[in-house]
Chain A
Amino acid sequence: MSATQTAWVVIVLGGIATFAIRGSFLLVATRLAALPATTRELLRMIPAAALAALVVPALLRTDGDLVLLGPRPLAGVVALGIAWWTRSVLATIAVGLVAVVGFELLLG
């Protein structure tokens, strides 16, 4: 399968799965629209765990090897600070990109 074909499989099946999740209660179970507290608590953990599982390897394992003091981890720390203070996607991306280019120049 080519990369483009794989992408379309992900688009169609990922889209169906996402629609099913979105419609779960809105379409099927509107009358019993109350999640048990335990399920709610479990779902609440997903964004933090999933996003961290994406971010950390992307920052610390760029080319397969663990790098703690490369341009990307350092720029990541700077960007984390900006994200924390501003909560702005635009500011975080702008400062993060400038930082990674800067660290790449500095660390050669």
Chain B
Amino acid sequence: MTRYDTDTAPTPRASFRAGAIAVSPVLLGIVPFGLVAGVAATEAGLGLAEAVGFSVVVFAGASQLAALELLGTGAPAWVAIMTAAVINLRMAMYSASIGSYMTDQSLPRRLVASYLLTDQAYALSLARYQQQGRTRPEVDRFFFYLGTALVLWMVWQVTTVLGVVVGGAVPDAVPLGFAVPLTFLCLLVPTVTDRPTLAAALVGGGVALAAAPLPANLGMPLGAGAGVLVGYALARRQRP
């Protein structure tokens, strides 16, 4: 596995700092997203405790917004839970990828790393690990990851609380709840990278729209499922 030169072994503190620095430009995008997570809770008729509950316990932006959006329209709990889980399935991919760099870490450390796993912490840490010893100085893998993930976590919690406060203070004439689909739109754009993902989005949106009158907001999971299948079939045909 990793073999550090004893003279230049990276300290946990320096590695943590390197991670915190790496994540800082990304935080600009997290701030409005976190605010919307707070606003979405108030728009769904919930309070500060539930908003913070979502952000601390679930700690996954897109799935939090999706669950709140569904709860706000009166969907049953199981549809909201299922939707949140499906949206977060992508993180199994990250878990496998980052896990291959963390086989030598202790179980408590891997528990912490699991809880804090996000798109951003994953992408930044993986990029750094791949550049290790070539173009960038060595860092302690766990503490670099912790630097990116923990700073992001803190900003997420603070902005969620701010979002609840802001959401309550803005006059009702401003349709602040509209910020939720706008945020989804912003997350959607970079996920469409090729024909299969475009097809997944078009079918997902189309089926969800057509199936919207179904009870229990089943249109959403139905649309998502149909989109995934069509996108997958297309991808298989392109690369057999």
Query: How far does the Cβ of A54 sit from chain B's closest Cβ, in whole Å?
Result: 5
Query: How far does the Cβ of B106 sit from chain A's closest Cβ, in whole Å?
Result: 12
Q: Which of B72-106 contact A (CB under 8 A)?
A: 76-77, 80-81, 83-100, 102-103
Chain A's interface size range is 35 or more
Query: How far does the Cβ of A85 sit from chain B's closest Cβ, in whole Å?
Result: 10
| A69 within 8 Å of B (CB atoms) | no
| B111 within 8 Å of A (CB atoms) | yes
8 Å CB contact of A33 from B99, B186, B206, B209: B99
Please tell me if the beta carbons of A45 and B196 are within 8 angstroms of each other in the complex.
Answer: yes
Interface size on B, residues (CB 8 A): 103
Which of B8-16, B57-65, B129-137 binds A?
Answer: B57-65
Query: How far does the Cβ of B109 sit from chain A's closest Cβ, in whole Å?
Result: 10
Give chain A residues whose Cβ lies under 8 Å from the Cβ of B66: 50, 54
| B204 within 8 Å of A (CB atoms) | yes
Which B residue's beta carbon lies closest to that of A49?
A: B227
- In the docked arrangement, what's the CA distance between A28 and B207, Å? 36
8 Å CB contact of B88 from A9, A18, A89: A18
Query: How far does the Cβ of B234 sit from chain A's closest Cβ, in whole Å?
Result: 9
Given contacts A11-B50, A48-B191, contact A93 B103 (CB under 8 A): no
Query: How far does the Cβ of B115 sit from chain A's closest Cβ, in whole Å?
Result: 6
Which B residue's beta carbon lies closest to that of A35?
A: B96
- In the docked arrangement, what's the CA distance between A12 and B186, Å? 27
- In the docked arrangement, what's the CA distance between A19 and B219, Å? 26
Given contacts A14-B84, A30-B100, A89-B183, contact A57 B208 (CB under 8 A): yes
Please tell me if the beta carbons of A17 and B184 are within 8 angstroms of each other in the complex.
Answer: no
Q: Which of B192-219 contact A (CB under 8 A)?
A: 192, 196-198, 200-209, 212-213, 219
Please tell me if the beta carbons of B114 and A19 are within 8 angstroms of each other in the complex.
Answer: yes
Give chain A residues whose Cβ lies under 8 Å from the Cβ of B202: 52
| B154 within 8 Å of A (CB atoms) | no
Given contacts A6-B77, A52-B201, A54-B208, contact A90 B181 (CB under 8 A): no
Query: How far does the Cβ of A36 sit from chain B's closest Cβ, in whole Å?
Result: 10
Contact flags B35-59 to A (C-beta < 8 A → 1, else 0): 0100000001111001001100111
- In the docked arrangement, what's the CA distance between A73 and B180, Å? 14
Show 14 residue pairs from A and B whose CB-CB distance is below 8 angstroms, ordered by the A residue.
A7-B50, A10-B77, A30-B100, A33-B96, A33-B97, A46-B228, A48-B198, A50-B86, A51-B204, A53-B222, A53-B223, A90-B32, A92-B183, A100-B175
Please give 8 more A-B residue pairs, beta carbons under 8 A apart, in addition to A18-B58, A19-B115, A49-B200: A11-B53, A13-B77, A21-B88, A46-B89, A50-B204, A56-B208, A60-B209, A79-B185
A residues near B (Cβ < 8 Å) are 1, 3-4, 6-15, 17-19, 21-27, 29-31, 33-35, 38, 40-61, 64, 66, 72, 75-76, 79-80, 83-84, 87-90, 92-93, 96-97, 100-101, 104
**4 residue pairs, one from A and one from B, having the closest CB atoms:** A49-B227, A56-B205, A53-B223, A49-B204
